[in-house]
């Protein structure tokens, strides 16, 4: 799981960020102006400039003076009820049966030998639910209005005192109610599938002579070692992303159900900076990977990664400070990809006068290394050995630095801002699971809004194609950004079409023997790509709305992130409702 920089912003920071509310406001403003101009041009061609302007102005006036103020919730509920009946009549609940069959046979294809079965199971059910629900919203919303218009059923609605706003709101509400029912059913089945699929225990297979340690039996392709204290209590080592609590009851050793596999850790993030080989400020090393997500520090030097935390209090960490690390290693020794690379962790006061002893560790690649230190620890005060209290000596005002260095000469450790955090507490997994499904529900609502919007002026099949195009851009729109930024070779769509018959590779410059024509192709491609990018900016980024990784990796979905997604969903609801209103108001139903 990789956190992006914008995920560190709280709700209000995101809301007033140029890429947040302000960008959305300007986008809505641009779309409103374009909509007014398009409507004016169409009305002008039909009625002339003066009459066309009056027609458009009349529609805008009626929206704010008549239709919105006189919108009836009773009529919205009636249309929603009809939409629900229509959806049930189309047997949409068969989606639940398809999902049941999918999870019945999922155990055959989900690898039981995976390093972290919990992550695999959770990712499967969330991804499967997400795609099925989006397709459900797609087919529910795109065919309803076009079929009513084609069968002339719409006449029985518009001849009543039903307003265009009520038609849109009622359809969206009805389809959302059906989708919500299905999501609740899928979420309940998914939760049972995950919990029961991971439930297991072990028995003691080998016990040491003094009875304080041993090895468990093999279950689900893994076993554990365990240790017991003088009170007969202990725990196993971590394997397959979980461990078991162990107690001695008489002569029998009892293992608990798995722990730490289904969790919702509450992370406390800090700001990150690097230092170079000599301890001066730096930016970290690039070891040659194309991704710039992680930067690296060099071993056996003063090169460091430093996280600065603030607002840390004894209330959150009364006896010990918990922290997690997800750090990667880059090895320069030829042929050795097994030997772990070592590093040290140092807790240091903000002024640098007090620091803990160096805490050694070995990198656990692709795993979350969960660690903790006691709030009573040994360290150094102004360079002299001392017994320290974490909150009295290192984090007096709740601020401190966490420093990581690499110990092995010639090796490198890679990390990013979200790869080290404090673990304040652990919340119930079931609630994090529910929040993951709330995110899926919000995505479904957005798809339904766009589907209903397209169906107000397009036929059913065309509305399906338009909504699918919107989904594709929402999931893979980053590819367009990379092409526009020149990060992908081969040029735009026109240049790519020309390269195909020429059998010209994307890594070479386009050469057709006419510089003027080549320049014209580049200019045309640039215009097309900017237009597509502008269109893409009006479409939600579903990769950012997805939260499956949070749930699968056991990280609590903080409320600020869900609040962002709710705000985005509400914004698209407003946008699609206004566009739908104008199309319903102006189209000729008899057509």
Q: What are the CA-CA distances from residue 125 to residues 86, 436, 492 (Å)?
A: 28, 11, 37
pLDDT range class, residue 149, cuts 50, 70, 90 = low
Q: How confident is the model at residue 369 (pLDDT cuts 50, 70, 90)?
A: confident
- Judged on CB neighbours under 10 Å (0-12, 13-18, 19+), 164 is buried
Query: For residue 355, what are the β-bridge partners?
Result: 348, 380
The pLDDT score that the predictor gives to residue 414 is 92
Mean pLDDT of the 444-454 span = 92
CB 418 within 8 A of CB 271: no
Residue 381 tokens read as: 């005060």
pLDDT grade, residue 38 (50/70/90)? confident
Q: Is 591's pLDDT higher than 50?
A: no
The pLDDT tens digits for 169-215 are: 999 999 999 999 999 999 999 999 999 889 999 998 888 878 788 99
Mean pLDDT of 317-324: 90
Least confident window among 151-160, 254-263, 288-297, 569-578: 151-160
Q: What is the mean predicted confidence (pLDDT) over 389-408? A: 93
pLDDT classification of 153: cutoffs 50, 70, 90: low
Which own/partner pairs from 96-105 qualify as long-range (CB within 8 Å, at least 24 positions apart)? 96/182, 96/185, 96/186, 98/132, 99/128, 99/129, 99/132, 99/186, 99/189, 100/189, 102/128, 103/128, 103/189, 103/190, 103/193
Give the whole-angstrom CA distance, residue 89 versus residue 91: 5
- The answer to whether the CB of 245 falls within 8 A of the CB of 202 is no
pLDDT band with cut points at 50, 70 and 90 for residue 347: very high
Most confident residue range from 86-100, 440-454, 534-548: 440-454
Average per-residue pLDDT for the chain? 84
**pLDDT at 335 (0 to 100):** 65
Can you give the pLDDT at residue 82?
86
User: Distance between CA 398 and CA 314 in Å, rounded?
Assistant: 9
Secondary structure (H, E, C), 388-442: EEHHHHHCCCCCEEEEEEECCCCCEEEECHHHEEEEEEEECHHHHHHHHHHHHHH
Confidence check: pLDDT of 152 > 70: no
Query: Is the predicted pLDDT of residue 251 greater than 70, yes or no?
Result: yes
What pTM was computed for the model? 0.84
pLDDT band at 590; cut points 50, 70, 90: very low
Segment 128-140, tens digit of pLDDT: 999 989 988 888 8
- The structure tokens 């974490």 sit at 390
pLDDT band at residue 151 using 50, 70 and 90 as cut-offs: low
Q: In what order do the strands lie in the sheet with 412-415?
A: 295-298, 412-415, 328-330
Of all residues in the chain, the percent with pLDDT exceeding 70 is: 90
More confident residue, 536 or 50: 50
pLDDT at res. 72: 86
Query: In this model, does residue 43 exceed pLDDT 80?
Result: no
Any idea which of 142-156, 203-217, 386-400, 475-489 has the lowest mean pLDDT? 142-156
Categorize the per-residue pLDDT at 588 as very low, low, confident or very high, splitting at 50, 70 and 90.
Answer: very low
User: Reduced to 3 states, what is the DSSP secondary structure of residue 515?
Assistant: helix
Alpha carbon distance 41, 263 (integer Å): 57
For residue 450, the model assigns a pLDDT of: 92
Query: Is 321 a residue whose pLDDT tops 50?
Result: yes
CB neighbour list of residue 503: distance below 8 Å, 6 or more residues apart: none
């Amino acid at each position: 799981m990789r956190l992006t920089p914008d995920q560190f912003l709280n709700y209000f920071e995101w809301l007033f960020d140029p890429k947040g509310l302000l960008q959305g406001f300007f986008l809505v403003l641009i779309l409103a102006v374009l909509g007014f101009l398009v409507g004016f041009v169409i009305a002008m061609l039909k009625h002339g400039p003066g009459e066309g302007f009056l027609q458009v102005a009349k529609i805008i006036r009626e929206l704010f003076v008549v239709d919105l103020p006189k919108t009836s919730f009773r009529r919205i509920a009636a249309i929603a009820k009809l939409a629900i009946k229509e959806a049930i009549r189309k047997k949409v609940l068969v989606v639940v049966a398809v999902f049941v069959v999918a999870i019945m046979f999922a155990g055959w294809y989900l690898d039981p030998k995976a390093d972290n079965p919990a992550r695999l199971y959770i990712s499967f059910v969330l991804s499967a639910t997400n795609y099925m629900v989006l397709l459900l919203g797609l087919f529910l919303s795109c065919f309803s209005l076009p079929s009513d218009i084609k069968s002339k059923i719409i006449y029985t609605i518009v001849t009543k005192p039903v307003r265009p706003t009520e038609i849109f709101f009622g359809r969206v509400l009805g389809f959302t109610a059906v989708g919500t029912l299905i999501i609740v059913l899928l979420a309940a089945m998914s939760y049972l599938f995950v919990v029961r699929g991971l439930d297991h225990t072990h028995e003691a297979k080998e016990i040491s002579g003094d009875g304080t340690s041993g090895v468990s039996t093999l279950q689900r392709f893994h076993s554990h070692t365990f240790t017991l204290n003088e009170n007969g209590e202990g725990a196993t080592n971590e394997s397959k992303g979980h461990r078991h609590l162990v107690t001695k009851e008489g002569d029998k050793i009892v293992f608990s159900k798995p722990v730490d596999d289904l969790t919702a850790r509450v992370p406390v993030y800090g700001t990150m900076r690097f230092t170079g080989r000599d301890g001066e400020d730096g930016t970290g090393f690039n070891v040659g990977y194309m991704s710039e997500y992680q930067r690296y520090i060099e071993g056996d030097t003063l090169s460091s990664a430093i996280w600065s935390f603030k607002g840390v209090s004894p209330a959150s960490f009364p006896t010990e400070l918990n922290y997690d690390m997800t750090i990667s290693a880059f090895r320069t020794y030829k042929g050795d990809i097994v030997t772990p690379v070592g590093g040290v962790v140092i807790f240091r006061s903000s002024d640098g006068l007090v620091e803990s002893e160096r805490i050694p560790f070995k990198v656990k690649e692709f795993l979350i290394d969960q660690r903790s230190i006691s709030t009573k620890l040994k360290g150094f005060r102004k360079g002299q050995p001392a017994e320290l209290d974490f909150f009295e000596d290192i984090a007096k005002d709740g601020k401190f630095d966490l420093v990581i260095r690499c110990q092995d000469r010639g090796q490198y450790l890679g990390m990013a801002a979200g790869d080290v955090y404090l673990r304040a507490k652990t919340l119930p997994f079931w609630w994090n699971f529910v929040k993951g499904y709330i995110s899926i529900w919000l995505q479904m609502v957005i798809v339904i809004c766009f589907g209903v919007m397209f169906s107000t002026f397009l036929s059913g099949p065309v509305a399906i194609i338009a909504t699918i195009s919107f989904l594709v851009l929402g999931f893979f729109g980053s590819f367009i950004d990379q092409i526009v930024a020149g990060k992908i070779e081969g040029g735009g769509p026109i240049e790519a079409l020309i390269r195909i018959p020429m059998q010209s590779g994307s890594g070479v410059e386009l050469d057709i023997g006419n510089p003027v024509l080549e320049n014209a192709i580049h200019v045309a491609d640039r215009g097309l790509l900017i237009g597509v990018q502008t269109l893409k900016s009006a479409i939600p980024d579903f990769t950012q709305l997805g939260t499956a990784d949070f749930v699968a990796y056991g990280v609590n979905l903080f409320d600020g992130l869900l609040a962002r997604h709710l705000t985005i969903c509400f914004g698209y609801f407003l946008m699609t409702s206004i566009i739908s209103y104008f199309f319903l108001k102006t189209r000729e139903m008899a057509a």
